[in-house]
Structure 1
């Protein structure tokens, strides 16, 4: 089984009546519901207010791919938890950062830039698939539309991605690298822009398909549970020969 942990702040859905109507049990529950239909995926839920934000050593040791949704409380995530997640990504755990998670501590720590961008509320977005050869794009059309979404626009302060799979075009004319992959250590990272909490984005079939594909793409290959260390190399063969003949 592919073990997936869904992490969500779970603040907007409890404090805003409009958002509560869209995601009555939280964004994490919506994502868990469609992933739960996949027979090879096992799901855990973690939220900000849980002990150690729900991301204990035990939970992360039993996580193949971590999904992260955050917005209002990035700074409330304890640094020790960020370091713990970073360690697991470097060891091979996959990370999928959704929407405002671009500004999360873990993404800044792993990518090393500000991840700043241009934004405004409320616009129509057309999401173009510009790399149909990538596994995350499997089964996706050339494009699909979101009638309402928060506009994210370039410039987007990220390091050069390994792949840009999706490009968002907004009715106001802006464009955005809306689906990018990165590799850090042995871990695969996918950042995906759609998912503003005020709109029912995660109910859309194309969005669900992309997240499901991303989980399977990001799963670990030969995850290393031990920390990487500098290891001294044995002597060169000629050095051994010289030593033996002395």
Structure 2
């Protein structure tokens, strides 16, 4: 089976800003999905903020292996119910790739548990991305560094949890540096944050950026069945203990009673 992938786009600036519309007339999400679909191992479709349930109903998420998320102008418009639905699927094993200004998205902050704040400057600076973990699958087939001639600057400190791995570090013409590609695991789900992608620049038309995203989808995919037990908190009876034990002392819960949540 191919890796079933959804590219989620906020799809606001493509409709309201002439510069963005000229670069992405059909939306950034469609350009990203088209780039992913050049790989026969990936089947990518799209969803947007404006659709019912933001295009992410439970049934569709249940059949999704990897979700890419791009948002910027209106993170607050994303339904909390949908955020919890996505988080649940990540814990069960769905991969999540968060792009650029998605660092402030509800879903990324929900899974990181931190402010996810950073420095920034919108000046069309040159960005040089270094593959500091060149043997990582997300860096497969890439040069040791590549340049985006115009990008928005993101600078440290980036208030996210210490990552499992740092794959890319960026340097900007103004002098700042930034951890531009980092991975985490939450439950059974693999998470990758990739920094480039400001909407007023043609970043997602760049062939190297597109290769990073294809690599990231393959890395984030978990081929195992969903780990539904991640949500369970069973009250194990005394008689079911692996070794014989004798109950001692008072208890709060009755045998078999569910715990508090």
What residue in structure 1 maps to residue 257 of structure 2?
none
Report the TM-score, using the length of structure 2 for normalisation: 0.89
- Partner in structure 1 of residue 255 of structure 2: none
The total of aligned residue pairs comes to 240
Match of 2:199 in 1: 197
What CA distance in whole angstroms lies between the structure 2 residues aligned with 1:235 and 1:128?
A: 52
Compute the displacement of 1:47 (Å).
0.2
Query: After superposition, what is the alpha-carbon deviation per residue over 1:66-112, rounded to whole angstroms, capped at 9, x for unaligned?
Result: 00000001000010000000000000000000000000000000000
Preserved contact between residue 96 and residue 192 of structure 1 (Cα < 8 Å): yes
Q: Which residue of 2 aligns with 1:148?
A: 150
1:178 alignment partner, SS class: strand
Deviation at 1:239, TM superposition (A): 4.3
Shift of 1:134: 0.7
Deviation at 1:44, TM superposition (A): 2.0
Structure 1 contact 93–188 (Cα < 8 Å) conserved: yes
Distance 1:126-1:162 versus aligned 2 partners, 3 A rule: same
* Contact 1:93–1:223 under 8 Å retained in 2: no
CA distance in 2, matches of 1:225, 1:160: 24
Q: Offset at 1:235?
A: 2.2
**Shift of residue 41, structure 1, vs aligned partner:** 1.3
1: CA distance between counterparts of 2:75 and 2:245? 54
- The 2-side partners of 1:118 and 1:56 are apart by 34
- Cα deviation, residue 58, structure 1: 1.1
Structure 2: 5+ residue stretches without partners: 247-261
Structure 2 SS opposite 1:126: strand
Residue 168 of structure 2 contacts residue 182 of structure 2 at CA under 8 Å; is this kept in 1? yes
Q: Which runs of 5+ in 1 are unaligned?
A: 241-246
Corresponding residue number in structure 2 for 1:181: 183
Q: Is the 8 A contact 1:186 1:223 kept in 2?
A: no
- Describe the SS at the equivalent of 2:196: coil
Structure 1, residues 49-80: CA drift from partner, whole Å, max 9, x if none? 10000000011011000000000010000100
> Once superposed, what is the RMSD of the aligned Cα atoms?
1.3
The aligned runs of 1:19-34 (5 Å cut-off) are 19-34=20-35
CA shift, 1:38, in A, is 1.3
Question: What is the match of residue 229 of structure 1?
Answer: 232
Contact 1:126/1:170 (8 A) holds in 2: yes
Would the alpha carbon gap of residues 15 and 156 (structure 1) be closer, same or farther in structure 2, given more than 3 Å must change? same
**C-alpha distance in 1, partners of 2:20/2:161?**
33
1:38 counterpart SS class: coil
TM-score by length of 1: 0.95
Moved over 4 A (4+): none
Q: Which residue in the other structure is 2:121 paired with? A: 120
